[in-house]
Structure 1
Amino acid sequence: MTMAASLWLAFSLLLTGCALGAKPFEGYLGNGNFEEQPKPKDLKKTVLIGKYALPKWEINGLVEYISGGPQPGGMFFPVAHGVHAVRLGNEASISQTIPVKPGTLYALTFGASRTCAQDEVLRVSVPPLSGDLPLQTLYSSNGGDVYAWGFIAKSKFAKVIFHNSGVQEDPACGPLIDAVAIKELIRPIPTAGNLVKNPGFEEGPHRLGNSTNGVLLPPMQEDFYSPLPGWIIGSLKAVKFIDSKHFNVPTGNSAVELLAGRESAVAQILRTVPNKTYNLTFTIGDAKNGCHGNMMVEAFAGKNTLKAPFKSSGKGEFRTASFEFKAIAARTRITFYSSFYHTRIDDFGSLCGPVLDEVRVFPVA
């Protein structure tokens, strides 16, 4: 089947699903886990030969098809979401064109990790939008970091591009990508009893089925394109989106983990009435993932601040905190971050932190 025919089939299926009132689209891109292998003639050792050597993808530059595990030269490449992955060399890229709905918010979810000691940056693009993800920080010691990146579709088709924008001394060095999925997101709205959009973090990116590490939300994500609808990742490091299947979540199916101290923060801008008093409540706890010790979540609203302590014994406990604040403008920014840095008791190479859930802001009668 030609690429044009494949796109038309995918688009037809998308339209059929919409007509039948199906759930928003979610799942792997074509060959999104890279397990559909290239033909032997399109592979020279590990290097892919030809623009369409990787099934369902278009490649440019030096792209390697990798099997996880020990590598020649003594290196080890973890492939957390299957057997195979791709590595992007200097200025190399892979891309795929997918059918989408114009004006709709989507989140890409992908497994990505660095493969060499140098700082590596993965550029994710859906033109005209793009974002650079620094991969020098390893959030988990087993190489199973999973990221999400949001975009709004501008037309009926979107070209998803993963590009190694760096130039390393070793041209074979570059980011490793081992899975790519997508999810259509619903933009939440505030309710009469809560000014906060997506207050329990229930609307968020796709969770890769065999990932137990959660999904990292990259830093500096504005709320309009955020993979966590309604929320801003206004910090230097990522925040982790976690689910109740693999972690302890206070309420519902999802929450966020503030895993990099003050460098890991979430925020939201609310519509408020100047000089009116509001109550801000939120739940904090531990994810029952080996994160323990004296924790502290700092919450900000207008000119008011609350430091909410929580002593974690790693058993999945949680508590609620609240305070009142007076709005000083028609827009009020609420922000949450962890005061301290934590690592798991069984793995000092994995960052962790307090869990945040069920954020509510409502006027004081």
Structure 2
Amino acid sequence: MVVQHARRAALFLLACVVSARVAAAIPDGLLPNGNFEAAPATSQLNGTRVMGRYAIPHWEISGFVEYIGPAQKQGDMILPVPEGAYAVRLGNEASIRQLLNVTRKAYYSITFSAARTCAQAERLNVTVAPESDVLPIQTVYTANGWDSYSWAFKARRSAVTLIVHNPGVTEDAACGPLLDSFAIKTLQVPQRTKNNMLKNGDFEEGPYIFPDTPWGVLVPPLDEDDYSPLSPWMVLSSTKSVKYLDAAHYAVPRGAHAVELVSGVETALVQDVRTVPGRPYRLEFSAGDAGNGCVGSLAVQAYAARGSVKVAYQSQGKGGYERGALEFTAIANQTRVVFVSMAYTMKNDGTLCGPVVDDASLVGFRNNAARRLLL
């Protein structure tokens, strides 16, 4: 009897521990001191340089890290802060890291803001072991110089360390990117629906967007084996990104989110779908503008198998869209669906913009007779 009570007590304690671990998983939103508003003690600062490894609350630093405050200058240039009053700057080979309590085997997306300073070809190495990617940040997509980026990972353990490292090497050790506003979001694995072979075809599942950030979130190019913040959509490019938009700040054809193709022909938005060779399929999608002052011909080219279709939407920059459709016959067990912007477009302030893609669907038919009947 005593042994049974002991076993029950042990099982109860184990269940409590497991429940505590699940409950302790970090919630969606800003990371602890993710906006760096909790400042280091003045004794831990030498000018703007942070001296103590653990001086910034909730963060661990390595190398030349600066704490940037209001109206901080670099020469004659004021370094703006996108959220609140403070940000950090990473010098050559410097890094910041934070331990995160997560749910093992769950997928997460990290959103953060970054701005280039004096270096030209800046990039950031983002790591949650064993996954790591170098994100190019040299292209500026906003008028104020700040962009929000996203990156996704699968949690291999219940406690993981997020590391952001500046691998750049410049003559000035202080020349490095500014960072601010780190947030996290648990990603749900998209599933196929009865009426759509594309997963996440409406782009409703994506990275965290700060409610007070009016410039969307960039999804940078990643290796095809990595988990995308827009999974299972992939961004194929060498250095350019697509932009994830919300309906609170942009004109979205349907639902709460869409994707803006801001990098012209240098970037493709793609998804691989299982198909049956010889079977007919129909791809439909919306193409338009985000209501953000992007004026001109915003052409979207869609490809699947040997077929392609072009939707040349003439934008007034005030929102609106057209539906595009492509009928094709599959030639393999897997078909890659591709969306590309066919031109480079800029707004009046000189920032890049482009067509919006949303509400994409793919359906298959047993044969051409069935296709004609249903259409």
Q: Which residue among 141, 153, 156 is the counterpart of 2:155?
A: 153
Residue number in structure 1 paired with 2:290: 287
Asked if structure 2 preserves the Cα contact closer than 8 Å seen for 1:90 and 1:167, the reply is yes
Residue number in structure 2 paired with 1:131: 133
Q: Which residue among 310, 313, 328 is the counterpart of 1:325?
A: 328
In the alignment, the residues of structure 2 paired with residue 63 and residue 90 of structure 1 have an alpha-carbon distance, to the nearest angstrom, of 9
| Deviation sequence 1:82-102 (CA, Å, 0-9, x none) | 210000011010000101112
Paired residue secondary structure (1:233): strand
1:264 shift after superposition? 2.3
Residue number in structure 2 paired with 1:253: 256
The amino acid of 1:337's aligned partner reads V
| Deviation sequence 1:254-310 (CA, Å, 0-9, x none) | 000001101122100001111100000000110000001012101000111111111
In the alignment, the residues of structure 2 paired with residue 258 and residue 40 of structure 1 have an alpha-carbon distance, to the nearest angstrom, of 44
Residue number in structure 1 paired with 2:108: 106
The amino acid of 1:362's aligned partner reads V
Asked if structure 2 preserves the Cα contact closer than 8 Å seen for 1:203 and 1:228, the reply is yes
In the alignment, the residues of structure 2 paired with residue 328 and residue 82 of structure 1 have an alpha-carbon distance, to the nearest angstrom, of 53
1:28 shift after superposition? 1.2
Asked if structure 1 preserves the Cα contact closer than 8 Å seen for 2:289 and 2:298, the reply is no
Q: In the alignment, does 2:363 pair up with 1:362?
A: yes
1:168 shift after superposition? 0.9
Residue number in structure 1 paired with 2:10: none
Higher mean alpha-carbon deviation, 287-296 vs 24-33, is at 24-33
Change (3 A) 1:68 1:351: farther
Residue number in structure 2 paired with 1:239: 242
Change (3 A) 1:126 1:61: same
Matches of residues 86-101 of structure 1 in structure 2 within 5 Å?
Answer: 86-101=88-103
Residue number in structure 2 paired with 1:44: 46
1:136 shift after superposition? 1.3
Change (3 A) 1:72 1:359: closer
1:141 shift after superposition? 2.2
Asked if structure 2 preserves the Cα contact closer than 8 Å seen for 1:232 and 1:268, the reply is yes
Change (3 A) 1:72 1:196: closer
Asked if structure 1 preserves the Cα contact closer than 8 Å seen for 2:100 and 2:162, the reply is yes
Q: Which residue among 173, 180, 201 is the counterpart of 1:178?
A: 180
1:144 shift after superposition? 2.2
Asked if structure 2 preserves the Cα contact closer than 8 Å seen for 1:48 and 1:65, the reply is yes
Residue number in structure 1 paired with 2:23: 16
In the alignment, the residues of structure 1 paired with residue 196 and residue 21 of structure 2 have an alpha-carbon distance, to the nearest angstrom, of 34
Paired residue secondary structure (2:234): coil
1:16 shift after superposition? 2.9
Paired residue secondary structure (2:235): coil
In the alignment, the residues of structure 1 paired with residue 160 and residue 24 of structure 2 have an alpha-carbon distance, to the nearest angstrom, of 18
The amino acid of 1:100's aligned partner reads V
Asked if structure 2 preserves the Cα contact closer than 8 Å seen for 1:224 and 1:230, the reply is no
Q: Which residue among 330, 336, 341 is the counterpart of 2:344?
A: 341
Q: In the alignment, does 2:222 pair up with 1:220?
A: yes
| Deviation sequence 1:150-209 (CA, Å, 0-9, x none) | 111111111000101111100011111011000000010111211000011000011023
Structure 1 unaligned spans of 5+: 1-10, 19-23
The amino acid of 2:303's aligned partner reads F
The amino acid of 1:155's aligned partner reads R
| Deviation sequence 1:49-77 (CA, Å, 0-9, x none) | 11101110000111000014341521221
Residue number in structure 1 paired with 2:4: none
Asked if structure 1 preserves the Cα contact closer than 8 Å seen for 2:24 and 2:101, the reply is no
In the alignment, the residues of structure 2 paired with residue 183 and residue 105 of structure 1 have an alpha-carbon distance, to the nearest angstrom, of 9
| Deviation sequence 1:78-121 (CA, Å, 0-9, x none) | 21122100000110100001011121111000001111143211
Asked if structure 2 preserves the Cα contact closer than 8 Å seen for 1:223 and 1:230, the reply is no
In the alignment, the residues of structure 2 paired with residue 299 and residue 78 of structure 1 have an alpha-carbon distance, to the nearest angstrom, of 39
Which portions of structure 1, spanning 4 or more consecutive aligned residues, are displaced by more than 4 angstroms?
A: 11-14
The amino acid of 1:361's aligned partner reads L
In the alignment, the residues of structure 1 paired with residue 327 and residue 356 of structure 2 have an alpha-carbon distance, to the nearest angstrom, of 21
Asked if structure 2 preserves the Cα contact closer than 8 Å seen for 1:118 and 1:168, the reply is no
Change (3 A) 1:166 1:41: same
Structure 2 unaligned spans of 5+: 1-17, 371-375
Residue number in structure 2 paired with 1:3: none
Paired residue secondary structure (2:236): coil
Higher mean alpha-carbon deviation, 72-81 vs 204-213, is at 72-81
In the alignment, the residues of structure 2 paired with residue 351 and residue 78 of structure 1 have an alpha-carbon distance, to the nearest angstrom, of 20
Asked if structure 2 preserves the Cα contact closer than 8 Å seen for 1:223 and 1:229, the reply is no
In the alignment, the residues of structure 2 paired with residue 319 and residue 172 of structure 1 have an alpha-carbon distance, to the nearest angstrom, of 48
The amino acid of 1:50's aligned partner reads G
1:17 shift after superposition? 7.4
The amino acid of 1:255's aligned partner reads A
Paired residue total: 348
Change (3 A) 1:43 1:114: same
The amino acid of 1:254's aligned partner reads H
In the alignment, the residues of structure 2 paired with residue 30 and residue 189 of structure 1 have an alpha-carbon distance, to the nearest angstrom, of 31
CA RMSD of aligned residues (A): 1.6
| Deviation sequence 1:221-270 (CA, Å, 0-9, x none) | 53751011210111231000000000000000000000110112210000
Asked if structure 2 preserves the Cα contact closer than 8 Å seen for 1:186 and 1:229, the reply is no
Matches of residues 263-302 of structure 1 in structure 2 within 5 Å?
Answer: 263-302=266-305
